[in-house]
Chain A
Amino acid sequence: GAGVSQSPSNKVTEKGKDVELRCDPISGHTALYWYRQSLGQGLEFLIYFQGNSAPDKSGLPSDRFSAERTGGSVSTLTIQRTQQEDSAVYLCASSSRLAESYEQYFGPGTRLTVT
């Protein structure tokens, strides 16, 4: 089947504006993750959804960042009042069964540039 898809692939926004990034996980995958990849920081975990459980938001860097997952499938990562330091590639991943493996499948990412 199709892999993880993300949109848009590139986003340029002005400082102070809000942005929404979308992730479509692999069909049937119950777990969904957001990561941020930036120069000098590598890959950082942001947030994790598993089924209907409360999300693990421990990686979100500030309260300007939020995410939701509707119907256990599509997820949207929202960044409010964007700052230049938010410029990065935002990667989404999904996995099928947390109890047995942490094997995650990644999307191509959204490159966010804040000017």
Chain B
Amino acid sequence: AQSVTQPDIHITVSEGASLELRCNYSYGATPYLFWYVQSPGQGLQLLLKYFSGDTLVQGIKGFEAEFKRSQSSFNLRKPSVHWSDAAEYFCAVGARTALIFGKGTTLSVSS
């Protein structure tokens, strides 16, 4: 069955430090992979997506993610975190008619 695992429920990072959020997926075919961000009281905003081609994809707000087929992973990274990045982050895999989401990782940013 298709599934997405985000192993870290909550991460705290100092402002200016680097960030990596982990995502592992289980999917039968070539996956369509996404990262979304949700700020408190807001809907989901698409950060980046992977369909094919270059395994390192760039997104908005300085985020990037790398698709590693051998590890079934699609980790999200940012070299320098800003306080405004504090939010909940969701990894998702495209299914036939819907997205399957991980449980999310809450990012806190300390000063």
Residues on A facing B (Cβ under 8 Å): 4, 33, 35, 42-43, 45, 48, 50, 56, 58-59, 91, 93, 98, 101-109
Contact = CB atoms under 8 A, between A and B. Distances in A.
Given A56-B97, A101-B94, 6 more contacts: A33-B98, A42-B101, A48-B98, A101-B32, A103-B46, A103-B49
A107 B51 contact: no
B37 to A, nearest CB: 11
B98 A42 contact: no
A101 B98 contact: no
Contact of A102 (B41, B99, B101, B103): B99
Interface string B59-102: 00000000000000000000000000000001000110111111
A56 B98 CA distance: 9
Going nearest first, the 5 A-B pairs with the smallest beta carbon separation are A102-B94, A45-B98, A43-B101, A106-B44, A106-B43
Interface of B: 32, 34, 36, 41-46, 49, 51, 90, 94-95, 97-104
A108 B101 CA distance: 17
A58 B34 CA distance: 22
A43 B88 CA distance: 12
Nearest to B96: A56
Nearest to B104: A42
Contact of B34 (A4, A91, A103, A108): A103
Contacts of A91: 43-44
Contacts of B95: 45, 102
Contact of B98 (A59, A103, A105): A59
A30 to B, nearest CB: 13
